[in-house]
């Protein structure tokens, strides 16, 4: 770090400094520096006098748990989840080094992970630091989770962790996880996610020498399959004019394979499709639609399931005291929420099936959504406001006084 950077960090809010330090740790998939992140997180916890537990759920994949015990630890706890890893960034397409955490004159901080989601992890820590400094004691225990592998699907992270004794000991009653930026004054809120369905469509036909017009080929059937699936895709795209992305089904061809030589018509071709099922549609509808589209290609076409997820949502109703508490805080602070189904997937998809309510929330308004994109950034004023918002939310949620 040069002298200019040192001077810059001496005058900025310490929370922003910590945020920028965290951003500079290259936790980039597929070879993230988890060791560096764990050292940093232990330092943060040590400054607040909070205990740290590290749970290795897979070789090299460690869940970091920082705990602030409540006055009644027998009650269900509040879990604040964030993931440590980030996606790759290609420096040639950025206006600055994506791991420099450079702050512009207007306070915009450019770095991979500013939005997704190192900002939220630091905001949790800094909100709790403020509460401790004020001498607050909250009713329920709070566990801050910093998890690996989310950007690769969480298969070696949260998916394994929820089945461990250590997770059970958390006694989780409610959780917060990542949300999304919003370019307006609104705050995006995820209450569920679309289910991921992957299928392989296998098209078989007559082989032969490529110098002839072989009839009834696998390629002809593959074309019919593609036309059917992409036709359905076009139908769903039209719905975007009146509905949110999380409320409709997406359909995309993601892989094609087959063939053995340049001069042989293949006997088999495989097409892999990624479909996302919205909670607002039934699994039976989409299953029947898949069968219908495959049948339209004729004989010799079948499919195999690669992944078939299930939609789980957290109800936003009067019976959900967690939602009511969350909403009351936002109403008091005059924060306009924009509830929606997440179009992608987060670690919450492994927690909701356990019957535990989780809301996805990142307090980032007035910001274009640049997660996974070039020149990802977050303004320091919005970041600092988010700490204050979490301070109110954490205090209210951890003081919910009912025996659940």
Q: What is the pLDDT of residue 345?
A: 87
pLDDT over threshold 90, residue 164: yes
Tell which residue, 403, 398, 375, 382, has the closest CA to residue 113: 375
Mean pLDDT of 16-35: 98
| pLDDT, tens digit (0-9, with 9 covering 90-100), for 90-99 | 999 999 999 9
Q: What is the pLDDT of residue 384?
A: 98
The Cα–Cα gap between 67 and 53 comes to 8
Q: Let me know: does 271 contact 225? Beta carbons within 8 Å.
A: yes
Tell which residue, 37, 71, 70, has the closest CA to residue 54: 37
Q: Let me know: does 77 contact 65? Beta carbons within 8 Å.
A: no
pLDDT over threshold 80, residue 380: yes
Percent of all residues in the chain with a pLDDT value above 90, rounded to a whole number: 95
| Residue 347 a catalytic site member | no
pLDDT over threshold 80, residue 131: yes
Q: What are the two backbone dihedrals, phi and then psi, of residue 50, each rounded to the nearest 5 degrees?
A: -105, 140
| Residue 5 a catalytic site member | no
Degrees, nearest 5: CA angle 122-190-173:
70
Q: Which residue out of 85, 151, 177, 178 is catalytically annotated? A: 85
| pLDDT, tens digit (0-9, with 9 covering 90-100), for 256-297 | 999 999 999 999 999 999 999 999 999 999 999 999 999 999
Mean pLDDT of 348-362: 97
- Residue keyed to tokens 């069968």: 291
pLDDT interval class at 404 (50, 70, 90): low
Concatenated DSSP letters for 158-213?
HHHHTTSHHHHHH-EEEEEE-----SSSSEEEEEEEPEEEEEEEEEE---EETTS-
Q: Which residue out of 126, 150, 177, 178 is catalytically annotated? A: 150
pLDDT interval class at 3 (50, 70, 90): very low
pLDDT over threshold 80, residue 127: yes
Tell which residue, 393, 395, 388, 390, has the closest CA to residue 13: 388
- What residue ranges define each of the domains in the chain, with the CATH number in brackets? 3-193+311-398 (3.40.630.10), 195-308 (3.30.70.360)
């Amino acid at each position: 770090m040069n002298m200019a950077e040192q001077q810059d960090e001496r005058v900025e809010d310490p929370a922003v400094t910590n945020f920028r330090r965290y951003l500079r740790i290259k936790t980039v998939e597929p070879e993230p520096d988890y060791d560096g992140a764990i050292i940093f997180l232990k330092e943060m916890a040590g400054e607040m006098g909070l205990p740290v537990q590290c749970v290795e759920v897979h070789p090299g994949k460690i869940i970091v748990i920082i705990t602030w015990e409540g006055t009644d630890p027998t009650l269900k706890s509040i879990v604040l989840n964030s993931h440590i890893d980030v996606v790759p960034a290609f420096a040639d397409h950025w206006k600055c080094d994506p791991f420099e955490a450079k702050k512009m004159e207007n306070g915009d901080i450019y770095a991979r992970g500013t939005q997704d989601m190192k900002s939220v992890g630091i905001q949790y820590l800094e909100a709790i630091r403020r509460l401790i400094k004020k001498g607050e004691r909250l009713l329920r225990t709070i566990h801050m989770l910093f998890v690996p592998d989310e950007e690769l699907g969480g298969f070696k992270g949260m998916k394994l962790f929820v089945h461990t004794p250590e997770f059970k000991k958390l006694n989780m009653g409610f959780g917060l996880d990542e949300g999304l930026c919003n370019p307006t004054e609104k705050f995006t809120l995820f209450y569920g996610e679309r289910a991921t369905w992957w299928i392989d469509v296998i098209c078989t036909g007559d082989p032969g020498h490529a110098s002839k017009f072989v009839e009834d080929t696998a390629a002809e059937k593959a074309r019919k399959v593609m036309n059917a699936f992409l036709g359905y895709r076009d139908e769903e795209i039209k719905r975007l004019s009146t509905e949110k992305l999380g409320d409709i089904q997406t359909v995309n061809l993601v892989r094609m394979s087959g063939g053995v030589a340049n001069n042989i018509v293949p006997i088999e071709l495989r097409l892999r499709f990624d479909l996302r099922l919205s909670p607002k549609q039934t699994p039976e509808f989409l299953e029947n639609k898949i069968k219908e589209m495959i049948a339209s290609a004729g004989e010799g076409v079948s499919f195999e399931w690669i992944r078939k997820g299930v939609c789980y949502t957290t109800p936003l109703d009067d019976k959900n005291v967690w939602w009511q508490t969350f909403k009351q805080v936002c109403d008091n602070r005059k924060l306009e929420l924009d509830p929606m189904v997440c179009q992608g997937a987060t670690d919450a998809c492994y927690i909701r099936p356990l019957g535990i309510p989780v809301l996805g929330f990142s307090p980032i308004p007035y910001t274009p959504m640049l997660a996974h994109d070039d020149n990802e950034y977050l303004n320091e004023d919005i970041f600092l406001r988010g700490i204050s918002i979490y301070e109110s939310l954490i205090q209210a949620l951890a003081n919910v006084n009912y025996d659940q």
